[in-house]
């Protein structure tokens, strides 16, 4: 297959792999299949295992061109290691636009590339994507996070974007830990309660406004700069099982919104994020089951398509 030149492309998709080839392969195929201009897209995968994951070579045999860069995290783990991979990818970008995306994401939106770039241009903003969902209290909600963030490359480089999370100051880290315990009422808060009880949602949302951002996860520095400089972005809405949006009457919607993350924009489903966290606060019973997630996606797409046909 002939290698595409950056001059012929307008968008680079990049993702970070930690033994994630089995997720990344369907992710890239999904993005390529639903793109309006797949021939104008480049793909970058950052291997955060420093070459230990030999299975990642399968990505080079895909029907789309994929560049793989090896990243030595130098002992970093978790969000810090992930951020180091994102920063490496940022240094490799040459196209006008770029999309940071997690391996465990599925996009519903047809022509997502044209749609997202058009939104950025029309609204004159820096980025479009998803922020941390409402139920992840204490995290930033004003700017897209790297789970799904499409941005203008020049703008990000000019603002010296840095994906590194958290503070290096141990006093600040402890202060934020105390604030999180107050916000989350110790062990009382969890995702299930947040989703089930509207009155609890109102209470915890009020507390979050008072306490502010106290969990400075990946991309927090970028979100802080955006807020300080009034930098605009377009955000997709995280939905809950009892939200009234298109298709919300279906069982598939309630499964995706309740067990995983589901995002809408202008009353249309955009993407889902599996999010198999180890945190007992946010973990759901099905979040670690990739097969179940795929089943929910297929069922949701099928039921949503039926609903659209009936509406028409």
Could you read off the pLDDT of 252-286 as tens digits, one per residue? 999 999 999 999 999 999 999 998 777 777 888 88
Burial class (CB in 10 A: 0-12, 13-18, 19+), 229: exposed
Is pLDDT above 60 for 312? no
Model confidence band, residue 310 (pLDDT cutoffs 50, 70, 90): low
Model confidence band, residue 2 (pLDDT cutoffs 50, 70, 90): very low
Give the C-alpha separation, 134 to 5, whole Å. Answer: 40
Mean pLDDT of 179-193: 80
Q: Looking at domain 6-164+218-237, does it have CATH number 3.90.550.10?
A: yes
Mean pLDDT of 12-33: 97
The pLDDT of residue 304 = 79
User: What residue spans define the domains of the chain?
Assistant: 6-164+218-237, 167-215, 239-312
Is pLDDT above 90 for 1? no
Give the lowest-confidence range in 78-82, 157-161, 227-231, 302-306: 302-306
């Amino acid at each position: 297959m002939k290698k595409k030149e950056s001059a012929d492309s307008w968008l680079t998709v990049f993702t970070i792999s930690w033994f994630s080839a089995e997720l990344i392969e369907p992710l890239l195929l999904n993005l390529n299949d639903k793109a309006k201009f797949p021939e104008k897209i480049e793909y970058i995968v950052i291997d955060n295992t420093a070459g230990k994951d030999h299975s990642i070579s399968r990505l080079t045999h895909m029907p789309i061109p994929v560049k793989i860069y090896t990243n030595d995290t130098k002992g970093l783990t978790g969000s810090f290691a992930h951020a180091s991979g994102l920063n490496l990818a940022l240094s490799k970008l040459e196209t006008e636009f770029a999309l940071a995306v997690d391996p465990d994401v599925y996009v519903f939106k047809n022509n997502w590339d044209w749609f997202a770039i058009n939104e950025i241009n029309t609204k004159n903003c820096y980025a479009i994507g998803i922020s941390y969902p409402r139920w992840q209290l204490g995290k930033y909600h004003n700017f897209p996070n790297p789970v799904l963030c499409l941005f203008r490359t020049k703008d990000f480089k000019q603002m010296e974007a840095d994906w590194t999370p958290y503070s290096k100051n141990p006093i600040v880290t402890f202060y934020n830990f105390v604030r999180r315990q107050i916000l989350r009422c110790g062990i009382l808060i969890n995702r299930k309660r947040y989703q089930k009880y509207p009155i609890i949602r109102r209470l915890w949302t009020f507390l979050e406004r008072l306490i502010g951002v106290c969990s400075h996860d990946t991309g927090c520095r970028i979100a802080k700069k955006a807020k300080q400089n009034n930098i605009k972005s377009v955000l997709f809405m995280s939905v809950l099982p009892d939200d009234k949006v298109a298709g919300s009457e279906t069982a598939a919607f309630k499964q995706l919104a309740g067990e995983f993350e589901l995002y809408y924009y202008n009353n249309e489903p955009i993407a889902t994020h599996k999010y198999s966290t180890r945190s007992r606060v946010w973990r759901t019973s099905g979040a670690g089951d990739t097969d179940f997630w795929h089943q929910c996606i297929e069922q949701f797409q099928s039921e949503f398509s039926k609903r659209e046909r009936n509406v028409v």
